[in-house]
A and B are shown apart, each in its own frame.
Chain A
Amino acid sequence: MVKKRLDIDSLFKASLSDYSLSSREGDWELMNHLLNEQQKKKKRRWFLFFLLFAGILLSGITLIFTDNNFTKLPAKTNHPVSPDPAQGNIVSKTQINIPKTLGGSRVDSAAPSDTKFLQTNGNNIPTIILTPQEKTPEIKSTNPLSTFLPKASKEEYEANEDIKPIGKNSSLLASENLSPTKKSSVSDLANPQTFPDSTTSMEAMKHSFDSLDTREHEVKERVTSTSNNSETINPNSIFSVSAIIDTLQKDSLYVSTLSSTTPDSSKEMEPIAATNKLFGVYLHGGVNMYTPNTSAKSQITLAPIGGLEVIYSLSTKLSIGLAGLFASQNGYQLNDTAQLESYFLDRNVSTQTIQIHTLQKIYIPLTLYVALTKKHSLLGSLRASWIINTKGNFSDIKIIENRSTEMYENNVNGYLDGIKPWIPGASVGYQFRVSENFNFSARFTRDFTNPYHEGFVTGVTNKPTWSLQTMVTLKIN
């Protein structure tokens, strides 16, 4: 009998054309090589993902360390860049800097915070230079702006209709208001009717001008002490006058640029808070594409996602945001069954089954935004997803003493057995800025760990998942 079986085995072996013991070792080597290649491909995919993520992170860090001026406000002026006043060349603007003690503001890092210039060069074009060490011009105005405003410029401002709203309502540019004792300019500027955009900002500006008054006293003292060395300003001279009042971004003050060469410069007076606010609250809404992994075919499922994000601007190019996004994801078929039995006269069985079809998650991404251009940004984030609730269909069947009782309930909440509450992941993505308050973004996310505990739920492939989140973003604060 055994011999016959051997014959049959030989018959099958002989019928297989490619059967040979000699080639078996080579096949194994080939299979081993192919398996290694597959593993390498998987590793390569992961490597590319992390390379992209690390690239975004690295570029962000690089920007942090290279962009040292991220706290400096953009100087809103249309003037050409001034040559060095120390060389006696033309200075096309006069800068009045608020001392650091009044808020630590700084307009130009090259100029000392308490330096003013008034000088006349050979072309009868005055250049204002005021430094504690050098000669002080003969200035009798207490208003620091009027100090450097010649008559010709006053007339020019008054003649210019675009500047009239400022000049008429405030004494800043009016010649009759340039007297040393006149201080109504501050109150006029703080008048909400003058600048109805923001009363709060006006108050801040008022505070800033009060600080300037303090500075005036210092200037007056210098003028008194150095009156013999004063220079004369040609009242008919035409030169550019700028007043840049600037503070740190945190103070939410105004950037004010007044220039005789740009009649529209008064319109540039706009709140810093609108463009340089450090914190912003954004409302996200969009679609989350994911694979529930409930079948052999990775079925892509869509779910709405939405939430809030607080973004902190590290610099003009770099910002970081912490969000809380809620998504109610359905399409799952996570089955969990619990059975209990007991004995009396017969075996009594109680079977409870839950089939979870919806997972409600909160995604908490810590996102680094890197602005490539004004409209295009890359983003990379570390993300944690948090299961807060599930929805499923529940059944309870009891068979006691051959009597069966059944109970069914749909959309029951809160069954979390076998589902990991926290799943870490990472995202890379892109953001397109449609307008100042409206963005579009898309991000790929890969989980780091399996979403379920082993041996709890059935009907699911327990692997880390990919998801694509596309969202529109609305700035709400």
Chain B
Amino acid sequence: MKKLCLAHLKYLAFLYLSLSMVSCEKEHLQPDPPPGNTTPLVYISATLNHDSIYLAGGLASYVGSVSVSDILTFREFNFTLKSTNNPFHSQMEISINNYQNEQGVLQADLDHSIFPGTRHYQNKDHFIPLAANVTWFDPAGIKFSSDATTQNTSFKIISVEDIIFESKPYKKAMLEFECNLADPNGHIIHLTEGRATALFGVQ
């Protein structure tokens, strides 16, 4: 009887070991997807005179960046697409002025400045709240800016969406614009069919 019990004990132990091995958790090589979209999120496309450009964050070493510029009492929110390999060449920047002439709380200024609507272009003579400015560095590095010349078109913010990435808040804005860009020497580039998805933030 004792031998029989021992034999049964052996079989049970074998069964337990077998089941414990079988029940091992099976893993799969499925990396956690990093946050963000599977296609480029931010981009700027436009026609400069007769040349079309398409810049996208994450493609061809182009990276988008957000910044806030405080000049005197004024403030503007900037979005830039630039090449990490060759900065200030073939680079475009879109700026939206603060909603007021003085600086407030950053996030509050951002919330009150970035919203859908039609904006004027900033001029070089005085600060215009909520106005927009477009800057283009051509492949040679020459700066062309919308505030360097007169504009007879408008800048449109089609939609604005609040998003959070890596625990930081952003405003994703879809833009449509046409404008004239001029360099310091007065050369003008006509920008048409401008479209962009830009991010604005307080970092």
Contact = CB atoms under 8 A, between A and B. Distances in A.
B35 interface: yes
Interface string A329-356: 0000000111111111111111110100
Contacts of B35: 342, 344, 348, 400
A347 B7 contact: no
Nearest to A339: B31
Nearest to A397: B31
B57 A352 contact: no
Interface string A409-434: 00011111100000000000000000
A362 B21 contact: yes
A309 B99 CA distance: 83
Contact of B26 (A324, A351, A412, A414): A414
For the complex of A and B, 4 pairs with smallest distance between CB atoms:
A347-B58, A342-B36, A345-B64, A352-B31
B147 to A, nearest CB: 25
Contacts of B58: 343-348
A345 B18 contact: no
A412 B27 contact: yes
A402 B24 CA distance: 37
B24 A417 contact: no
26 contacts: A281-B7, A308-B14, A324-B14, A324-B18, A326-B21, A338-B31, A340-B33, A343-B38, A343-B58, A344-B64, A344-B165, A345-B64, A346-B64, A347-B40, A347-B57, A348-B36, A349-B34, A350-B33, A350-B34, A388-B21, A389-B24, A402-B63, A413-B25, A416-B26, A416-B28, A477-B7
Q: Give the residue among A344, A349, A351 with the most B Cβ atoms within 10 A.
A: A344
Contacts of B24: 388-389, 413-414
A396 interface: yes
A398 interface: yes
Contact of A344 (B21, B27, B57, B59): B57
A415 B27 contact: yes
Given A348-B35, A412-B27, A477-B10, 12 more contacts: A324-B14, A342-B33, A343-B57, A345-B63, A346-B64, A349-B34, A350-B31, A400-B34, A413-B25, A413-B27, A414-B25, A416-B26
A443 B42 CA distance: 64
A417 B65 contact: no
**Dominant SS at the A interface?**
strand
Contacts of A414: 24-27
A261 B58 CA distance: 102
A351 B31 contact: yes
Nearest to B13: A308
A48 interface: no
A468 to B, nearest CB: 24
A414 B24 CA distance: 7
Contact of A345 (B7, B30, B32, B65): B65
B199 interface: yes
